[in-house]
Amino acid sequence: VQKFPQWASRNADGSISKKNGFDWLSPINPEVQTFINALVSEVITTYDVDGVEFSDRIPAMPVEGGYDSVTVALYKLEHSGNTPPVNPRDAAWMRWRADKMNQWYADVRSIIKAKSSHLFVSSSPSIFPWSYQEYLQDVQGWIDSGIADHFIPQLYRYSFSDYAFELQNAIAQAGTKKKILFPGILMNLGTGASEYVIPADYLMKAMAENRKQGVNGEAFFYYEGLRKNNGKLGDTLKATYYKEKALVPERGESEWRFPASVVNETDSAVTKQGVWIQYLMKGFEGSVLRSNDSVPGAVLSYTVHVPAAGYYDLFTYRVPNTPWNSKARYTVHTSSDSMLFLVDQTDLTKKGWQPLGTFHLNAGMQNILTLDNSQGVPGRYTVADAAMITINRMLSPDVVLSAEVKDAPPISVPERYCILENYPNPFNPSTMLRYTVPQDGNVRLMVFDLLGREVRVLADGWQRKGEYSVVFHADGLSAGVYFAHLSAGPHRTARKLMLNK
């Protein structure tokens, strides 16, 4: 507001709209809309999110507002030059402002869905009709028009009877779209002597009432309450209503973030060559295996079930120690290539699950990782423990995974898709990017920083179908995360790059 005073919502007397302790921007001002749209785009592009939630603050404006110069000019343009009514609660004037916010909200939804149809648009407004009367939030319009994938009304009440009453109102408002209703429950608020934590019996009654009314999910505010009293509320939910996995209907009952596929070094899916001896040092599960580097030829190969073709983050579990190998050789087998990593197993700062990188893997049982002691030093040891993959949702936004991961048949994917990988990663000062062009056409490979600013154009022009490589030199750039974006005809993909200095 200080930097862009024209963005502020203003009351009829010209003062900045202030309500509930906030100074308000005007959500009808196109510049404000562009600003919020940019924030939304940055979040869904840069971060691995499941969607975006808009609360009782957005899109919203105090009913007293709307008298800023930009909003007034828009109103006059659509009303033959007439100024808005002086009474901020004039029904037609309220409706006009609410409709303007609805138009913008529909545009925000389009931005999110353009990134991926699987990203959710969620709304958690105050209860109706107060939300409309005081903040012009047309919640009913959002439900009826399909803007909101999830309707999360803030049913924050301190007694079960009050909660049950508001739940009935919310069900009536959702109507035939009750499946998108996930009521908000006040679980924890405040600190110290004034802190509120929902009583366990009230929580259980609320959960029972939700299920009785056919409501199959809820949201908690604040979630920290799950951990209060040594985790009592969280443990109670896990033992009762949350015993089973939650599979979201809008995603085809798929396990969107499936449990990580973990393979322990002693599992049958791991094949061994050479001499590996159990060493009684606590690893991920049980002890670890180690090979004496004085005896070359020790090799471990990890086979993992990959539920669908896509990009996965690959981790190894490490138990560092000074006698270990400083150049343990890991080879990652991707859908199109193999990549070599030398890992310092003596680095005491790298303990537990450590990432090797993000890679494109084909569906099915895949030999994704090999560890050997070929780079070892006599008298030292190469140590083996578990490996794990997790889906990278930012790079695989549309991959659908079966709920029963272990028994799922491979999911078919189009034969032609573009692949983008790099080695090394992290890197300094340069890294080799390798990519495939699935068909003849225009190709553009660019690198962006975290703010979405273009820092390099590595390829721009017509290329034949095939495999290519190019070096990204990061001279002059600051350390941090960058993103390589590849477009090849209708195909798009991206890769996260980590520059260390």
pTM score, whole prediction: 0.66
pLDDT band at 217 (very low <50, low <70, confident <90, very high): very high
pLDDT band at 215 (very low <50, low <70, confident <90, very high): very high
Is the pLDDT score of 292 beyond 60? Answer: yes
Is the pLDDT score of 213 beyond 90? Answer: yes
pLDDT score recorded for residue 394: 79
CA neighbor of 168 nearest in space, from 128, 135, 113: 128
Please report, for residues 159, 197, 219, 230, the alpha-carbon distance to residue 201 in angstroms, rounded to integers and kept in the order given.
11, 12, 17, 17
138-170 pLDDT per residue, tens = 999 999 999 999 999 999 999 999 999 999 999
Out of 99-108, 304-313, 406-415, pick the least confident: 406-415
Q: Residue 440, SS3?
A: coil
Identify whether the C-beta of residue 444 lies closer than 8 Å to the C-beta of residue 456: no
Count the neighbouring beta carbons within 10 Å of the beta carbon of residue 446: 17
First to last CA, the chain: 38
pLDDT score recorded for residue 253: 64
Beta bridge partners of 221: 186
Identify whether the C-beta of residue 58 lies closer than 8 Å to the C-beta of residue 123: no
pLDDT score recorded for residue 283: 93
Out of 167-176, 231-240, 270-279, 486-495, pick the least confident: 486-495
pLDDT score recorded for residue 183: 97
Mean pLDDT of the chain: 89
